[in-house]
């Protein structure tokens, strides 16, 4: 396990903070963590990272004079929801008939989102 880097951005101007924070976050390797020290609640940063895949955020301290935010780059497969989705998908590949897959494909077309790739479609057609 690698050491956690701490970056104190208290008292810096907005632009200076961004010039330090974002490259530090992007340079994290899988499994690495950075600790950021703020004099305010960095809620916009928490929301921004929450919207991206690949990062976990947690407050180590929540004010009133100091906020400490830890940011960790996820390792592949560390997200339990993604693992569950993949498991359910693999089961569906085995149990759905060609007609049922056609129905899934039509539903995906209706919502504009596809949960499978053309290679998967070809594999299911050969299974049934």
Residues 6+ apart with CB under 8 A from 111: none
What pTM was computed for the model? 0.58
Range of the domain at 23: 5-73
pLDDT band (50, 70, 90) for residue 118: very low
What is the Cα–Cα distance from 46 to 54, expressed in whole angstroms?
A: 13
Q: Which of 32, 49, 73 is the last residue of a domain?
A: 73
Are 62 and 86 in a shared domain?
Answer: no
Question: Residue range 96-123: average pLDDT?
Answer: 69
Number of domains in the chain: 2
| Residue 22, domain CATH | 3.30.110.40
Are 85 and 67 in a shared domain?
Answer: no
Residues 50-99 pLDDT 10s: 888 888 899 999 989 999 999 999 876 555 566 566 667 777 777 888 88
pLDDT band (50, 70, 90) for residue 19: very high
Are 95 and 122 in a shared domain?
Answer: yes
Are 18 and 62 in a shared domain?
Answer: yes
Are 20 and 65 in a shared domain?
Answer: yes
């Amino acid at each position: 396990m690698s050491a956690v880097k701490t970056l104190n951005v208290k008292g810096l101007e907005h632009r200076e903070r961004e010039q330090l924070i974002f490259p530090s976050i992007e340079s994290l390797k899988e499994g690495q963590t950075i600790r950021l020290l703020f004099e305010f609640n960095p809620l916009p940063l928490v929301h921004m990272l929450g919207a991206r895949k690949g990062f976990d955020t947690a407050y180590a301290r929540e004010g009133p004079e100091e906020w400490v935010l830890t940011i960790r780059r996820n390792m592949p497969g560390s997200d339990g929801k993604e693992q569950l989705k993949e498991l359910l998908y693999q089961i569906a590949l085995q149990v759905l008939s060609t007609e049922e897959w056609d129905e899934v494909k039509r539903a995906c077309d209706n919502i504009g989102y596809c949960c499978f790739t053309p290679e998967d479609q070809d594999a299911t057609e050969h299974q049934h």
